[in-house]
């Protein structure tokens, strides 16, 4: 959530920055400032009323002490009226504050200055690429055909049990999935991330804290009987572990990793681009989350990018990195780098990780602060990234490592799988 005091001080700069997302935020910004003015004006009236009531209370005590009973009783009547007035003002303040917060909730984050202008994924900037795209035989298969041929994933069985977008992994397919999860967690913990096992459902406050609510409410599975939400990513419960905390500056950075299944209602349209593992309602992901000092967050973002690079180098998968343009940037993000693996059999790039800096946007919602070296309370910066999302990594491995003899397992995964070929 944007900070209203910064909007007040830099209104035109905020409108200009949000234009990079392809939106005219003028009316929204004006509405926030109007609500803020109402809130501040009501707060000032309330403070004045309470101060006057306190002053009268002290005078009443002195008047009774001096035997001036009539004057004391007259002032008591005024304090009763002031208490009623303050009660009304408290309600007005609460309404004005709620109105302002609801308006702030629908404003996205300000893009970082390095974010390119653009309307959609076609305007994203490629900033890095690495790895050779393998030359496959003419009869190379996409991963959904390989999964069927080698009996690794049963999409039809998932439809039987639940519905489309809920695949069933089996045999060596399940073991490959488990190997990747363990390998990713081992890489992350070796890099200094503390592993957490977190709930797979969160309350509404957690959804608002990291920005999934109200922005993505329709994309989340809602357990209405308990008013809980199935998580779309481990980012939500992991970041919310620190909601409302006041940290000391020497506690930063806090580095977390966790594996969870992820649930999203967004599986979407039909066609080859969403076939197989390309887009699912349920999938597995290993996440990394950092809570950083504002001065260090962009260096931390670069470190997270390098960390994901290292994983993909280990897997020997051809990949590229994109800096997302304003129109493709997530609601909560100030700067995002997307990693994409090249699927040779599909002849297309598949997104397998997003690494983002949210600056203070999530922290302001979470009321997550730290006390700096001078004893001043400040909002932290939060960051997160996929390290990695499994479905498209598995798709890339199956497609890029296929041979006439079978599917070769990347060398780094062999100790985790216990086999080096799927035949």
Residues belonging to the binding site for L-serine are: 233, 264, 287, 384
CA atoms within 13 A on the CB side of 54: 6
Residue located via tokens 């670069």: 302
Cite the annotated binding site by residue number.
233, 264-266, 287, 351-354, 384
Q: Residue 247 in 3-state DSSP?
A: strand
Sheet of 246-248, strand order: 246-248, 369-371, 377-379
How many C-beta atoms lie closer than 10 Å to residue 259's C-beta? 20
Residue located via tokens 């390989």: 146
Identify the H or E element spanning 235.
helix 235-240
DSSP conformation letters of 263-282: E-S-----SGGGSTTSS-SE
> In terms of C-beta density within 10 A (0-12 exposed, 13-18 middle, 19 or more buried), how is residue 240 classed?
buried
How many C-beta atoms lie closer than 10 Å to residue 262's C-beta? 23
DSSP conformation letters of 333-357: -SEEEEEEEEETTTTEEEEEEEEEE
d(CA 188, CA 203): 27
Supply φ then ψ for residue 81, to 5 degrees.
-65, -40
Cβ–Cβ < 8 Å for 324, 338 = yes
Cite the annotated binding site for ATP by residue number.
264-266, 351-354
What number of H helices and E strands is found in the chain? 13, 19
Cβ–Cβ < 8 Å for 406, 151 = no
How many C-beta atoms lie closer than 10 Å to residue 47's C-beta? 12
User: Could you tell me the sign of the dihedral formed by the alpha carbons of 398, 403, 406, 412, in that order?
Assistant: negative
User: Could you tell me the sign of the dihedral formed by the alpha carbons of 389, 395, 398, 400, in that order?
Assistant: negative
Cα–Cα–Cα angle for 275, 278, 282, nearest 5°? 105
- Provide the token pair at 129: 């690429």
């Amino acid at each position: 959530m944007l900070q209203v005091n910064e909007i007040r001080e830099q209104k035109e700069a905020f409108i200009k920055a949000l234009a990079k997302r392809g939106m005219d935020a003028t009316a929204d910004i004006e509405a926030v400032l109007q609500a803020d003015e109402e809130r501040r004006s009501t707060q000032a009236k309330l403070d004045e009323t309470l101060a006057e009531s306190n002053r009268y209370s002290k005078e009443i005590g002195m008047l009774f002490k001096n035997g001036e009973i009539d004057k004391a009783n007259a002032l008591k009547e005024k304090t009763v009226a002031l208490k009623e007035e303050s009660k009304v003002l408290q309600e007005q303040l609460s309404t004005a504050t709620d109105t302002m917060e609801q308006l702030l909730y629908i404003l996205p984050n300000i893009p970082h200055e390095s974010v390119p202008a653009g309307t959609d994924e076609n305007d994203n900037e490629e900033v890095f690429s690495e790895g050779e795209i393998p030359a496959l035989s003419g009869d190379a298969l996409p991963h959904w055909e390989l999964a069927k041929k080698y009996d690794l994933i049963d999409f039809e069985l998932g439809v039987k049990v639940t519905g489309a977008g809920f695949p069933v992994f089996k045999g060596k397919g399940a073991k490959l999935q488990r190997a990747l999860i363990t390998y990713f967690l081992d890489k992350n913990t070796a890099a200094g991330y503390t592993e957490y096992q977190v709930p797979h459902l969160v309350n509404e406050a957690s959804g608002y804290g990291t920005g999934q609510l109200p922005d993505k409410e329709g994309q989340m599975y809602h357990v209405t009987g308990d008013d809980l939400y199935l998580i779309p990513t481990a980012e939500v419960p992991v970041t919310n572990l620190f909601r409302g905390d006041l940290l000391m500056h020497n506690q930063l950075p806090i580095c977390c990793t966790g594996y969870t299944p992820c649930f999203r209602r967004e599986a979407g349209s039909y066609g080859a681009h969403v076939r197989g593992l390309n887009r699912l309602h349920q999938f597995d992901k290993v996440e990394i989350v950092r809570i950083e000092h504002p001065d260090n967050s962009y260096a931390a973002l670069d470190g997270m990018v390098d960390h994901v690079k290292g994983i993909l180098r280990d897997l020997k998968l051809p990949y590229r990195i994109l800096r997302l343009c304003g129109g493709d940037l997530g609601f909560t993000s100030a700067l995002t780098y997307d990693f994409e693996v090249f699927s040779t059999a599909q002849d297309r790039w598949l997104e397998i990780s997003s690494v983002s800096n949210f600056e203070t946007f999530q922290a302001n919602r979470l009321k997550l602060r730290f006390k700096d070296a001078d004893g001043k309370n400040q909002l932290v910066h939060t960051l997160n990234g996929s390290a990695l999302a499994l479905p498209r990594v598995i798709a890339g491995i199956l497609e890029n490592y296929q041979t006439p003899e079978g599917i070769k397992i990347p060398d780094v995964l062999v100790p985790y799988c216990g086999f080096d070929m799927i035949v």
